[in-house]
């Protein structure tokens, strides 16, 4: 085992994502041999009671109630941004100015304008940065990326992805406030586009290269919901569903769809890639499996292979248990932390950087613009 | 068993579809108790050698080499059109004028203009007519239709369908001629849009009502292929792939996609419908199954149900074997013949009629127009 | 197409299996180019009303109410035995003496003693004979047989099979009489052992060679049922469930199980074979698929292949439709008729012969004897 | 969050299971609100180099190289036994005498005689004790247990389970020594019976009650392997494969099978339970799912439900992420620790206790005895 030095983490937020990241920080050194050891130095939020409980549960050494104070502390090396999307921009700008590494929850920002300023801030400051598009680090997804990168699929003809949920079908669900800010356009920036399609787009660009044009439609099925903060029925500003057609720079055609009204799907992120020689398919509700079809297989015994991604020669899996024993959702965050720390030890970024994530936000913006205009939108 | 009278069939064509229809005619009375019994009176095609072999195999009593002569015969009650799409229009017009019932292979026509004339011809002549959108009669699909019609899904939010094949990936595959006319735009009218998406659209309209607007993209991946008839490399005029977004009159959003470049899929027609209360999914490569998710199920044991559609209380299945024993592709044609004959005995159409099929062709036209213009196209 | 001569069929019975066989006779020449054409000459049963309806539906030219008379007719070439198991023996003996070819529904007989006399009868008479173990001719099963025969699996370690149904769970279901003779020990000989496990054993011996020893248990869950013929509650004499361990001559270990009390399974016949190099799995409720695992596949993309058995290079499939389009249960009978007729044209048996089927009955007898004694039983 | 007191853990062993348990101790308080907090006080093993690395990775405060010294320490509350099976007995006896709580890796012991002494020792000493049959705490398995316990399945007719692996097929794999002691009969006691079937039996008894009789067969496919410790080819003493038939006290029939020669299965533990009203199926390679068939569902939409066990009302899942996001293998250990600590706070055992685990070992002994004698063995 290598000798290790602490990387002092300052976490902002205590919600679902703050738990997932904290868990990753605490576990990574048990499984990965790294030069850095994350040290949970401080956590910051406004609600002192919940903040204290969170700090106790996860072992944060201290708390702050003002993120500006957290950023100002000398004993913090890295800021982790786990707050609603509208706060990513001001916090990232301040953290960059303070010379902190930044690990920002996805999406990077509510829109590309904010995102561009964030990119410029971290690049100008020269601080390491990443955005938590964690699904890249599901082993099956990393394997898919590798198979495409090795050219096994040949020319890519088709990419299709969707992210289907069903948790907002009830009109009685309010918008806004803790746990429900994703339904509030002011806080979230958009609905499923920034929340769910952003994941699909990030993976797609990572595996298949730039998207060059899109045409989209969006819908808000429930037009008004009570707002948690005001207690009033208010117009719903987010997109409940979004679908778009796209073309990639490599000539592939794509369809993307996301909704929170797909009864029966809790968190079904799926993608499939069809190439000249082979095809790949994956879904989040069976994240430990990859489907693979290789046309080179002998004809009479050719079929989609159902790969149980749990062997030591598959991405990240030598770090965990033994073949046949599956890992889960949370491990994708551990992998991202491991890669971040490994690269950080060399002074490098591991990706996706803010700049990578900006590309995804630009596609999201194009999608929303197309849905509004009814026109194809070309990405420069 | 009822007393039966013959319905004399005049088949035009001897290809794949002529086999499927002939098989249906020969089998239907063994399983369905009907007033009509199809009598394979004559088959018509230009190639006398193949025609003779086909007639012998299927037991056609006579042959013709000119479809006009076949239509002129008094001993023919119904004309079955199983020839390339460009011939549907002239044959149907002539058959209607001659007062024959018409069973026309799908799509109705190369375009809506031809299709409208065909509709007007059969309606003016008052002849029974149908188009072989056979997948409606796969028991699982009929069951899906019934479940939606009974209101079990509640408000429909989403419809998604695709039809994926992989048989034209090789650039060495020629276009045109026997078995390959589907790659020849002059004969086929279009590529996957009329051949494959037409099935998806027919089912969608049947189950979920009218489509009101679309935006589409198409692609021809292999730009030139040798033409079988000329021996020359020629521009490929068909769409190899087509995807479109759509809105239904009932407010549902939809995505549709078809391609012949989806490595690993031989004939994967799938659809999924998400409603307020329940969802449904089906695919052609496991056509005997229907997936059903009912939100009313108790939460801890709620999940997608995998229904093996083979019980006597499921559509058409009382006519076949016993629960657990699956039927296949060809049975959908038997069912369509059975329904056609049952309705015909009352002087009625069973559907899909030419008029029904025209709606599908109108959507196909709109899709192709949108792909050409890059604009949303509204259907009146 | 070859010139054809008629093979005159005399069918005994009009139940479920008589339908399946009649269908096969009527269809086989539409899809297979054969020297023989089955001619439905006569059908025989005691209930004249039902007999007439059956003959009309399936186009039998004549009827008989005494099977001895049918066998005595000169215009009958082949006798098809589709009556309860207790009648297989007397009919087969008489038919053999009359020099008829015999196609006997499975199992061959109620026990090996009857079966041995039947074998000796057909062999002495020199008549062609077969037993309808139709599942051998499901294309995926034939493919499995071929893969093992080619040595692709290497040394076989394990064979496991079961046949699960759930149709007799209700204690209100009577035993005996039309449709329910399978619950009457006198008519059936045994319960699930002869009815369902016989299929599993036939396939197993065919693919993996002789079974040399077994230990078994049986159970009758519902001890008494009303008898249809007497109207009285009577002891149930059949086995409702049976499971046994076995060893094959090739050293493989096996487990077999069958029951009619497996809630949720209508007709789930499954088998799996594990070899040194590869494994195979199949199930009847998705009979058009074969699962195949090849250890020679590259490690990172190794997984069970899900083969859609519908391509022209897979067994029998060149005769049907196109890749991706599935056939069903009934086609296995068509294939058996086709193979029978092809061999018959050369004066040969196609298998499984009575002698082959006797092996299965001998294993069934050993299983029932073991269940009674609690001892392992060795097969000579 | 409750106030917590430390429970000082003394771990013996540093192998695969020691990692899984250590991970569980470190994580449990992040997700479960408990009165106890495991404190990794000391780890013990003979190889000092590996011991030091293990202690560093997992944060053990100290090390020991003699387990007797560890047990003698006053600052240790609980002993965790993660060494080969032959050492369970002496360590457990010593630990009980020292008044330590004991968490023993499964199986309890090499045989029932050892196990009985261990039970008597902990019961006499009055120390809390458990055996790591972790699969009970996979949420889907706990859910299955609950469904049966609530009577939803009604009378149980059938139980079938297997545990299939393929990692010992190569004859070049040696036996004995680190990582391979499971192939050495002296260290392991038995092969797949104690290693794999023990899991199946533990779950079966837990869910379905006592097993009353068994008949079994075992096989050792590779007769000799080089022994790691001696360097010599030696007879293989373990069972490579084992299958048995069984009867439960409740009248259910069962089949069990395990092997390490099932090509294509890395760690496929499956079970299925068929009851009068409903059936359940589960497998370890998709451990986050439960299949459920409820006969009370309306007939036309009845089918096996595929339950994604990730909702807050399903066992343990309120502690983790959100619906749709799966957990993995390691979480079963976290759950077992959580339940152990929760019960320990009240001075109670959570189960499976040594006494519970003894029942499983008694069945294993009966199975091996039956395989040796060829006779049914009855359990008292």
Mean pLDDT of all residues in C111-123: 98
D316 and chain B: CB distance < 8 Å anywhere? no
- At residue D177, the pLDDT reads 82
Say if CB D69 and CB D57 are below 8 A apart.
no
End-to-end CA distance of chain A: 47
Other Cβ atoms less than 10 A from the Cβ of B113: the count is 12
pLDDT band at A329 (very low <50, low <70, confident <90, very high): very high
Other Cβ atoms less than 10 A from the Cβ of C273: the count is 26
Mark yes or no for CB contact A147/C299 under 8 Å.
no
Mean pLDDT of all residues in A54-72: 98
Residues of A whose CB is below 8 A from B247: 217
Residue C201, judged by CB atoms within 10 A of its CB (0-12, 13-18, 19+), counts as buried
Structural domain boundaries of chain C? Answer: 5-134, 137-378
- At residue C297, the pLDDT reads 98
- At residue A212, the pLDDT reads 98
- At residue C89, the pLDDT reads 98
Helices assigned H by DSSP within C98-234:
112-125, 139-149, 185-188, 192, 198-208
pLDDT tens-digit readout, D242-294: 999 999 999 999 999 999 999 999 999 999 999 999 999 999 999 999 999 99
Say if CB C374 and CB D375 are below 8 A apart.
yes
Cα diameter, chain B: 66
- At residue B4, the pLDDT reads 84
Predicted TM-score of the model (pTM): 0.97
Mark yes or no for CB contact A374/B374 under 8 Å.
no
Say if CB D244 and CB D256 are below 8 A apart.
yes
Q: Is the peptide bond before B352 cis (omega within 30 degrees of 0)?
A: yes
C296 and chain A: CB distance < 8 Å anywhere? no
pLDDT band at C155 (very low <50, low <70, confident <90, very high): very high
pLDDT band at B3 (very low <50, low <70, confident <90, very high): confident
| CATH number belonging to the domain at C137-378, selected among 3.20.20.370, 3.40.640.10, 3.30.360.10, 3.40.50.300 | 3.30.360.10
Residue C89 makes CB contacts below 8 A (sequence gap 6+) with C109, C110, C114, C117, C118
Residues of A whose CB is below 8 A from C314: 300
Strand segments (E) across B156-267: 156-164, 211-219, 224-226, 233-235, 241-248, 253-259
Q: Which residue has the higher pLDDT, B178 or A184?
A: A184
Helices assigned H by DSSP within D107-172:
112-125, 139-149
Mark yes or no for CB contact D304/B302 under 8 Å.
no
Nearest CA in chain A to C314: A300
End-to-end CA distance of chain C: 47
Q: Chain-centre distance of CA C286, in angstroms? A: 18
Mean pLDDT of all residues in D179-186: 90
How many Å apart are CA B257 and CA B265, to the nearest integer?
13
pLDDT tens-digit readout, B146-159: 999 999 999 999 99
Residue B229 confidence (pLDDT) above 90: no
D250, D251, D296, D254: which is closest to D273 by C-alpha? D254
How many Å apart are CA C249 and CA B121, to the nearest integer?
71
Q: What are phi and psi of B150, to 5 degrees?
A: -75, -5
How many Å apart are CA A132 and CA A20, to the nearest integer?
11
DSSP B52-101: HHHHHHHT-SEEES-HHHHHH-TT--EEEE-S-GGGHHHHHHHHHHTT-E
| Closest-CA distance of chain B to residue A284, Å | 16
By three-state DSSP, how is residue C280 classified?
strand
End-to-end CA distance of chain B: 47
Percent of chain D predicted with pLDDT > 90: 97
Q: Kindly compute the dihedral angle of the four CA atoms of residues D81, D82, D85, D90, in this order, to the nearest 10 degrees.
A: -30
How many Å apart are CA B23 and CA D361, to the nearest integer?
61
- At residue B93, the pLDDT reads 98
CB nearest C305 (choices: A301, A313, A314): A301
CB nearest B253 (choices: A219, A277, A295): A219
B307 and chain D: CB distance < 8 Å anywhere? yes
In DSSP terms, B286 is beta-bridged to none
Residue D363 in tokens? 């069945």
D2 and chain A: CB distance < 8 Å anywhere? no
Other Cβ atoms less than 10 A from the Cβ of C379: the count is 16
Kindly tell me the sign of the dihedral angle through the C-alpha atoms of B70, B75, B81, B86: positive
| Closest-CA distance of chain A to residue D32, Å | 9
How many Å apart are CA B224 and CA B234, to the nearest integer?
5
How many Å apart are CA B165 and CA B148, to the nearest integer?
28
Mean pLDDT of all residues in D331-354: 97
C17 and chain B: CB distance < 8 Å anywhere? no
CB nearest C303 (choices: A300, A301, A307): A307
Q: Which of B311, B324, B330 to mutate to test the interface with C (most CBs of C within 10 A)?
A: B324
C319 and chain B: CB distance < 8 Å anywhere? no
How many Å apart are CA D92 and CA D73, to the nearest integer?
15
Residues of C whose CB is below 8 A from A306: 303-306
Residues of A whose CB is below 8 A from C292: 301, 303
Cα diameter, chain A: 66
**C152-187 burial string, b = 16+ CB within 10 Å, else e?**
bbeebbbbbbbbbbbebbeeeebbbeeebbbbbbeb
Residue B151, judged by CB atoms within 10 A of its CB (0-12, 13-18, 19+), counts as exposed
How many Å apart are CA B50 and CA D108, to the nearest integer?
75
Residues of B whose CB is below 8 A from C168: none
Say if CB A377 and CB A112 are below 8 A apart.
no
DSSP C4-26: -EEEEEEEE--SHHHHHHHHHHH
D234, D212, D213, D215: which is closest to D225 by C-alpha? D234
Mark yes or no for CB contact D57/A326 under 8 Å.
no
- At residue C3, the pLDDT reads 76
Residue D90 makes CB contacts below 8 A (sequence gap 6+) with none
Say if CB B334 and CB B319 are below 8 A apart.
no
How many Å apart are CA D346 and CA D35, to the nearest integer?
10
Residue D1 confidence (pLDDT) above 70: no
Q: Which of D154, D155, D157 to mutate to test the interface with C (most CBs of C within 10 A)?
A: D157
Residue D3 confidence (pLDDT) above 80: no
D281, C300, D286, D320: which is closest to A288 by C-alpha? D286
Say if CB D211 and CB D246 are below 8 A apart.
yes
Mark yes or no for CB contact B292/D299 under 8 Å.
no
| Closest-CA distance of chain D to residue C270, Å | 14
Mark yes or no for CB contact C263/D241 under 8 Å.
no
* B 256-295 → D contacts, CB under 8 A: 290, 292, 294
Residue A178 confidence (pLDDT) above 90: no
By three-state DSSP, how is residue B27 classified?
helix
Residue C311 makes CB contacts below 8 A (sequence gap 6+) with A299, A300, B266, C317, C323
In DSSP terms, D144 is beta-bridged to none
Residues of C whose CB is below 8 A from A301: 147, 292, 294, 305, 307
| Closest-CA distance of chain B to residue A274, Å | 5
Strand segments (E) across A143-230: 156-164, 211-219, 224-226
How many Å apart are CA D60 and CA D9, to the nearest integer?
9
CB nearest C279 (choices: D263, D278, D295): D263
Q: Which of A53, A321, A331 to mutate to test the interface with D (most CBs of D within 10 A)?
A: A321
Q: Chain-centre distance of CA C282, in angstroms? A: 16
Residue D68 confidence (pLDDT) above 70: yes
Region at C231 (left for phi over 0; alpha for psi -120 to 50; beta for the rest): left
Mark yes or no for CB contact B305/D308 under 8 Å.
no
In DSSP terms, C121 is beta-bridged to none
pLDDT tens-digit readout, C245-291: 999 999 999 999 999 999 999 999 999 999 999 999 999 999 999 99
pLDDT tens-digit readout, C62-89: 999 999 999 999 999 999 999 999 999 9
Q: What are phi and psi of D24, to 5 degrees?
A: -65, -45
Q: pLDDT averaged over chain B?
A: 97
By three-state DSSP, how is residue B380 classified?
coil
Mark yes or no for CB contact A323/D288 under 8 Å.
no
Residue B168 in tokens? 């034209």
pLDDT tens-digit readout, A259-279: 999 999 999 999 999 999 999
State the pairing for strand pair A253-259/A241-248. antiparallel
Q: pLDDT averaged over chain C?
A: 97
| Closest-CA distance of chain C to residue A315, Å | 9
pLDDT tens-digit readout, C188-224: 999 999 999 999 999 999 999 999 999 999 999 999 9
Strand segments (E) across chain A: 5-12, 36-44, 62-64, 78-81, 101-104, 129-131, 156-164, 211-219, 224-226, 233-235, 241-248, 253-259, 268-275, 278-283, 289-294, 304-308, 377-378
Kindly tell me the sign of the dihedral angle through the C-alpha atoms of A352, A353, A359, A362: positive
Residue A1 confidence (pLDDT) above 70: no
CATH superfamily of B135-378: Dihydrodipicolinate Reductase; domain 2 (3.30.360.10)
Whole-number Cα distances in Å, C303 to A298, A325, D235: 15, 15, 33
Residue C1 confidence (pLDDT) above 70: no
What CATH number does the domain located at D5-134 have? 3.40.50.720
Residue D173 confidence (pLDDT) above 90: yes
Q: Is the peptide bond before C107 cis (omega within 30 degrees of 0)?
A: yes
Residue C292 confidence (pLDDT) above 80: yes
pLDDT band at A4 (very low <50, low <70, confident <90, very high): confident
C123 and chain D: CB distance < 8 Å anywhere? no
Percent of chain B predicted with pLDDT > 70: 99
Residue D362 confidence (pLDDT) above 80: yes
Mean pLDDT of all residues in A17-22: 98
| Closest-CA distance of chain B to residue C54, Å | 9
| CATH number belonging to the domain at B5-132, selected among 3.40.50.720, 3.50.50.60, 1.10.10.10, 3.90.1150.10 | 3.40.50.720
Residue with tokens 């004694």: C373
């Amino acid at each position: 085992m290598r000798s290790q030095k602490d990387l002092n983490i300052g976490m902002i937020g205590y919600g679902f994502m703050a738990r997932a990241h904290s868990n990753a920080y605490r576990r990574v050194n048990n499984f990965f041999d790294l030069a850095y050891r994350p040290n949970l130095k401080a956590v910051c939020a406004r609600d002192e009671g919940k903040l204290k409980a969170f700090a106790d549960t996860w072992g944060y050494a201290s708390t702050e109630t003002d993120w500006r104070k957290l950023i100002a502390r000398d004993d913090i090396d890295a800021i982790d941004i786990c707050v609603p999307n509208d706060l990513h921009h001001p916090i990232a700008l301040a953290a960059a100015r303070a010379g902190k590494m930044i690990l920002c929850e996805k999406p990077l920002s509510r829109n590309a304008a904010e995102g561009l300023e964030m990119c410029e801030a971290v690049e100008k400051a020269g601080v390491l940065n990443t955005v938590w598009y964690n699904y890249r680090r599901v082993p099956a997804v990393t394997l898919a990326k590798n198979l495409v990168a090795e050219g096994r699929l040949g020319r890519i003809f088709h990419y299709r992805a969707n992210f289907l949920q069903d948790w907002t079908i009830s009109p009685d669900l309010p918008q806004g406030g803790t746990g429900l800010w994703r339904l509030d356009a002011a806080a979230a920036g958009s609905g499923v586009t920034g929340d769910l399609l952003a994941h699909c787009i990030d993976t797609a660009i990572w595996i298949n290269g730039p998207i060059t044009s899109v045409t989209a439609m969006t819908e808000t099925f429930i037009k008004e919901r009570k707002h948690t903060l005001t207690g009033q029925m208010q117009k719903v500003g987010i997109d409940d569903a979004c679908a778009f057609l796209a073309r990639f720079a490599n000539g592939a055609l794509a369809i993307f769809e996301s909704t929170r009204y797909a009864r029966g799907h809790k968190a079904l992120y799926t993608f499939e890639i069809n190439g000249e020689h082979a095809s790949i398919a994956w879904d989040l509700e069976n994240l430990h499996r990859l489907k693979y079809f290789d046309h080179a297989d002998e004809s009479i015994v050719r079929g989609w292979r159902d790969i149980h991604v749990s062997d030591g020669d598959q991405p990240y899996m030598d770090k965990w248990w033994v073949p046949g024993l599956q890992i889960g959702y949370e491990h994708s965050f551990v992998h991202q932390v491991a890669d971040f720390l490994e690269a950080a030890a060399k002074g490098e970024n591991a990706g996706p950087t803010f700049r990578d994530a900006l590309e995804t936000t630009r596609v999201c913006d194009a999608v929303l613009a197309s849905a509004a205009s009814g026109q194809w939108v070309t990405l420069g």
